[in-house]
Structure formats: C-alpha cells, structure tokens
Amino acid sequence: MRKAMALVYAVEGVVAARIWQWSGRVAVGVRPAPASNPGELLRQVEAAVAPLRESGESWEFGLLGDQ
C-alpha cells in the first residue's frame, strides 16, 4: 500500500490520506485542500491508483472528515 499512498499524495490538492485494506477490498479516504473540488479530486485519485487494482478487488473512495 506504500505505492498507493505515494500515488494518492502525488495528486494535487490532497492534504491528507488514509488507506485501509482487507480481504479483496481497499478503501481510500482523502482530505482535499480548501481550494480543491472534492468530486474532481476523488476522480483524480481513483485514476491515479487504477494501475494498482487487481482483478476481483473492490475499491472505494471517499472524503475524510475533520479530526
């Protein structure tokens, strides 16, 4: 998941990210920069990690809440 995390942080506008992985599933959460469009950012993050997806895996993408 290190490579996935590096790809996520390479997307302009990502200020925080978390990745969870369990059997056949991966969840990616990101916090956008204030000037970013959250919907567009999620599409860019999804495209950035697409080469890592394996057949049969389910990937979900969402926004991290304030902590």
Q: Are strands 25-32 and 14-22 parallel, antiparallel or unpaired?
A: antiparallel
CATH number of the domain that 55 lies in? 3.30.70.1350
Per-residue model confidence as pLDDT tens digits over 8-23? 999 999 999 999 999 9
Q: Which domain, by its residues, includes 59?
A: 2-63
Structurally, the chain folds into a number of domains equal to: 1
What is the predicted pLDDT for the residue at 22? 93
Among candidate residues 19, 44, 46, the one with its CA nearest the CA of residue 33: 44
Spatial contact of 19 and 28, defined as CB atoms under 8 Å apart? yes
**Average of pLDDT values for 40-66?**
95
Q: How is residue 35 written in tokens?
A: 């000037």
What is the predicted pLDDT for the residue at 67? 54
Per-residue model confidence as pLDDT tens digits over 22-41? 999 999 999 999 999 999 99
Please tell me the pTM assigned to this model. Answer: 0.91
Q: How is residue 46 written in tokens?
A: 């999804």
What is the predicted pLDDT for the residue at 65? 85
Helix (H, G, I), strand (E, B) or coil at 40: helix
